[in-house]
Amino acid sequence: MKKLLLWIVVLMLTVSVVATFSLVGCKAVPEAVEAEKPVVEEAPAEEEEVAGSWWAQAAAPYKDVTIKGISESTPPSKYMQEVLAKSFMEETGINVEFEVTSWDEMYDKEIKDMEVGTGIYDFVYIEQDIIFSYLHNEYLLDMTNFMNENPELVFDDLDMDDFTSFINDFKDDEGHVYGLPFEAFLKICLYRKDLFENKEIQDAFKGEYGWDLRPAVTFDEYGQIAKFFTEWGKDNDMELWGTTVQAASHPSSFYEIFETILPPAGVYNWGINMENWKATSADGGAMDSDKAKEALAFWVSMLDYAPPEATSSTWDEVAASFAAGRAAQGWVYGENAAWIATNAEKSVVVGNVGVARPPLMEGVLEEAEAGEGYIGYYDGGALGIPHCSKNPEAAMLFIQWVCRKDFQGEFAKAGSRIVRTSTFDDPIVLAMDKEVDGYYSMFKNEGYLYKGAPPFPFHATIREVIYTYTIQAITGEMTASEALDAAAKATNEELVKLGYGK
Amino acid sequence: MKSTRTAWLFMMPTLVILVFIGLVPFIYVLYIGFFDWNLFSKIRGMSWAGLNNYRKLVFDSDFNASLGRGALFTVLTVSIEMVLGILLANLLMMKIKGIKFFRAIHSLPLTVAPIAIGAAWRLMTLPGLGPVPYYLQKIGFDFNIGRYAQQAFFTTVIMDIWHWTPFITLAFLAGLSSLPKSPFESAMVDGANRWQIQLHITLPLLKPVILTVLFLRIMDALRIVDEVWMLTGGGPGTATRYIGIHIWRVVFPKTDYGYGSAMSVIVLYFTIVLTWLLITSVSQSRKEVAK
């Protein structure tokens, strides 16, 4: 009996070890997967004439194929899911299973899929800030090569030159494209025009602060307005606070600090010196600089004038708070501007939304205009095809469908996003511009003052390192100064571990 | 001998499954713990780190703080749950009208998935929107689990107590129902009062049940993730970043697989030691009861 037991234990251990090391060796090689051909159940006979549009003809070999994609739950993605995917299926006969989920879950799923090479997704959402990591890890199909090799799949009116300069973020050093943008917007300030233009409020504000109430230009002005409206709300028994703050214990708070608050204070690229990969001021970085500390302290102080939900708010909740009329002003992602300003089913501030630049510290605008800095975040994303996609041809068709010029006006109306230069002159956008207080004009004319995330392949890892400290500034476990000192030091150490700098 | 072989044959499917879902992942995690492996590192793939990941853990203040926070959470929740569980079990043993209905109601939290419990508590306590902060504000208490670390910590403690006390109560109810009657009758004949009976007869006889429940609950509390993740996301700050959540953040969003694996192995080691101590105590107490 003992012998049998011993044999079973030895057998189990052997199986475990063999299985474990087999798993290590099972990591998929992208090139091998790339070679796979799409699964097409039944291609039409050559003689059979395929009727219909170019789309129907191009999609004919892939009819009834199901492509699966994933994206973040944002207004543009929901529009793709609810409108564009349906019309694509009707036109082409290709089925689209489009998963729209939370930001965290989306990355968790798509990165695992692409790293292991499972091939679950045929197209994936690539946010501008993660593209550098994806390129570094060779997760994505080279669309330029793919289109050259499959000209029959390229729509005549794709017009790559019509994309705004945002598409450059999705290119490699050789100019090859790895994702076609479908959304791009600015992180702007929204304010309540009805409150800002109220005579009684204007008089009260001027009486208290000595200057005419208008959207803030500096951090100090922003703070004064926030304080004023919080007190106004209290005194008038209103559910009104002075500002939104995206301060959940979630990476979203990191993004608000490092992409919305620090750049207007003159701290760019997260305060990391990209020549020696150091974040500390002593080594040429700026993460723990006085300017960064002042900006973070200012942002933390805004929590006193923000609705109670601010410390549980990510980007979605911030937009919802503003739409619910709970804040007089706030930093809001531009993709939400259209629905907040026009959709009466979801927003109580329809018709009362003003759009403004974020407040800045002295000298930052001049630096941005000179191309030496930027005043805020130019956000957005593209759709790309993973190397492990099982149906890259059908996915390529769908991505082009989403980017069709003639769809861009309605798409911009639904998601306040623009990726094509021609869209700015679309009649729908021009009409919408008036309803959203000139947001689209601002986007067109001042977009160059904003910038996307720095080209860091280590984006997610360093974000996690920094955010562990900055969230402690929110609760007061650390001061702003202590948090940034610790974050800069930890960033230096982690970057060395990742192979950047010494 | 033949019956033993048959028994092993019947157990084989389970053993094979256990090997693949238990042993294989464990060896894999153990293996990865000896490497530096970050998806977004400049050098792709794994590089040998030896025991470096384990050495770093000793000095990692975030890891140690998470471990300490988790230990405090475990001590608080399990001790309060044990006391409440014994009290409720004694109450439920009484013959009162409607007690069966109360037993059923009282067990309801056990039937709900932890993630749903976290979501329900989040809805109730969401600052600015939930009913709990709303009514507390009416009596002048500023309740905001998104901002105040202690409030968030104690909210997770209360949520866990609410969720798991019924389990302990049910275990004690089963234990109390199966106790022999003769020691109690003898004690009553000898003139022992209720308190003396409880202290000198009921609790010693319940010792195996107490230790088993204690063991199960400590394991569960130490590895809590889903409810707390849903309620607070580990915040505000790091107030509720217990060890499970800390490891998850290191392994997934940070993609530091090597270091995260080393953490998992160390936590597993602590858990095994604790389990061994408790199992030894349980066996010892069973022997004493048998005597």
Q: What's the pLDDT tens digit per position in A155-208?
A: 999 999 999 999 999 999 999 999 999 999 999 999 999 999 999 999 999 999
Residue B215 pLDDT: 87
Residue A55 included in any domain: no
Q: Report the complex ipTM.
A: 0.85
Same domain (yes/no): A199, A110: no
Residue A390 confidence (pLDDT) above 70: yes
- A242 located within any domain: yes
pLDDT attached to residue A50: 47
Q: Please report the pLDDT score of residue B271 as a whole number.
A: 86
| Average of per-residue pLDDT across A400-417 | 93
Nearest CA in chain A to B16: A12
Hey, are the CB atoms on B15 and A12 less than 8 Å from each other? yes
Chain A residues touching residue B39 (CB < 8 angstroms)? 111, 115, 133, 137
- Per-residue DSSP letters for A129-184? TTHHHHHHTT-B--HHHHHHH-GGGS-GGG-GGGB-GGGGGGB-TT--BS-EEEEE
Q: Which residues of B touch A459 (CB under 8 A)?
A: 40
Q: Tell me what the pLDDT averaged over chain B comes to.
A: 91
Look at strands A376-384 and A180-192 and give their pairing: antiparallel
Name the residue in chain B with its Cα closest to that of A500: B42
pLDDT at B2 over 90: no
CB–CB of A473/A300 below 8 Å? Answer: yes
Q: Reply yes or no on whether the pLDDT at A22 is more than 60.
A: no
Question: Does A290 lie in the same domain as A243?
Answer: yes
Inside any domain, residue B116: yes
A to B CB pairs, distance under 8 Å: 137
Distances (CA, A) of A446 to A186, A377, A470: 10, 12, 30
**Coil, strand or helix at B42:** coil
Q: Are residues A362 and A488 in the same domain?
A: yes
The pLDDT score that the predictor gives to residue B102 is 86
pLDDT tens across B144-183, in order?
A: 999 999 999 999 999 999 999 999 999 999 999 999 989 9
**Interface probe, candidates A1, A20, A274, A321, chain B, greatest B C-beta count within 10 A:** A20
Q: Does the CA dihedral B49-A487-A483-B257 come out positive or negative?
A: negative
DSSP per-residue string spanning B82-145:
HHHHHHHHHHHHS--TTHHHHHHHHTHHHHS-HHHHHHHHHHHH-TTTSHHHHHHHHTT----T
**Chain B contacts of A326, Cβ < 8 Å?**
128
Collect all residues of chain A within an 8 Å Cβ-Cβ radius of residue B133: 308
| Site from B34, B42, B43 to mutate, A interface, most A CB atoms within 10 angstroms | B42
How many angstroms separate the CA of residue A499 from the nearest CA in chain B? Answer: 5
Shared domain for A350 and A373, answered yes or no, is yes
Question: Using the beta-carbon criterion (under 8 Å), do B128 and A475 form an inter-chain contact?
Answer: no
Is residue A140 in some structural domain?
yes
Range of the domain at A149: 63-183+380-451
Domain membership of residue B110 (yes or no) is yes
Domain membership of residue A204 (yes or no) is: yes
Residues A364 and A404 in one domain: no
- pLDDT (tens digit, 9 = 90+) per residue, A58-77? 999 999 999 999 999 988 99
Q: Are B213 and B85 in contact (CB under 8 A)?
A: yes
CA-nearest of A249, A471, A254 to B156 is A249
What pLDDT was estimated at residue A170? Answer: 96
pLDDT in the model for residue A30: 37
Same domain as A483, residue A355 = yes
- The phi and psi torsions of B26 (rounded to 5 degrees) equal -65, -45
Interface with chain A: mutation pick from B39, B225, B232, highest number of A CBs within 10 Å: B39
Interface test with B, best of A249, A456, A489, A500 (most B CBs within 10 A): A249
Asked if A498 lies within 8 A of B144 by C-beta distance, the reply is no
The predicted pLDDT at position A418 comes to 95
Structural domain of B104: 57-290
What does the block give as tokens for B9? 């044959």
Instruction: Tell me whether residues A248 and B235 touch, CB distance under 8 A.
Output: yes
Does the distance separating the beta carbons of A16 and B19 come in below 8 Å? yes
C-alpha of B180 from chain center: 30
We report the CATH number of the domain holding residue A131 as 3.40.190.10
Is residue A23 situated within a structural domain?
no
Domains identified in chain B, total number: 1
Of the candidates A252, A413, A404, A227, which has an alpha carbon nearest to the alpha carbon of residue A302?
Answer: A227
- Pick from B42, B144, B253: CB nearest A499: B42
Residue B240 lies in a domain: yes
Interface test with A, best of B3, B129, B228 (most A CBs within 10 A): B129
In a 10 Å sphere around its CB, with 0-12 CB exposed, 13-18 middle and 19+ buried, how is residue A441 labelled? middle
Judging contacts by C-beta atoms under 8 Å, the chain B residues touching residue A310 are 127, 146
Within a domain: B20: no
Same domain, A171 and A199: no
Q: Is residue B186 part of a domain?
A: yes
Residue B75 lies in a domain: yes
pLDDT at A36: 38
Domain count, chain A: 2
- CB nearest B38 (choices: A23, A111, A498): A498
The residue-averaged pLDDT of A232-257 equals: 96
Q: What is the pLDDT of residues B178-221, one digit of tens each?
A: 999 899 889 989 998 988 998 899 988 998 899 889 989 998 99
Tokens matching residue A274: 């990209």
Does residue A336 sit in the same domain as residue A384? no
Q: What is the CATH number of the domain that holds B191?
A: 1.10.3720.10
A158-164 long-range Cβ contacts below 8 angstroms, 24+ apart? A158/A400, A158/A403, A159/A405, A159/A420, A162/A405, A162/A420, A162/A421, A162/A422, A163/A403, A163/A419, A163/A420, A163/A421, A164/A418, A164/A419, A164/A420, A164/A421, A164/A447
Asked whether residue A255 is domain-assigned, the answer is yes
Nearest by CB: A311 against B19, B20, B147: B147
Does A196 lie in the same domain as A142? no
Instruction: Compare all CA atoms of chain B with the CA of A136 and give the residue at the minimum distance.
Output: B40
Instruction: Give the pLDDT score at A210.
Output: 97
Residue A209 shares a structural domain with residue A86: no
Same domain, A166 and A228: no
The CA distance from B285 to the nearest CA of chain A, in Å, is 28
Q: Check CB contact under 8 Å for B253 and A104.
A: yes
Task: Identify whether A58 is part of a domain.
Answer: no
Question: Is there a domain that residue B18 lies in?
Answer: no
Average pLDDT (B229-258) is 93
For residues A147 and A281, state if they share a domain. no
CA distance B16 to chain A (A): 8
CB pair distance less than 8 Å for B38 and A461? yes
Q: Is B12 part of any domain? A: no
pLDDT per residue as tens digits for the range A305-322: 999 999 999 999 999 999
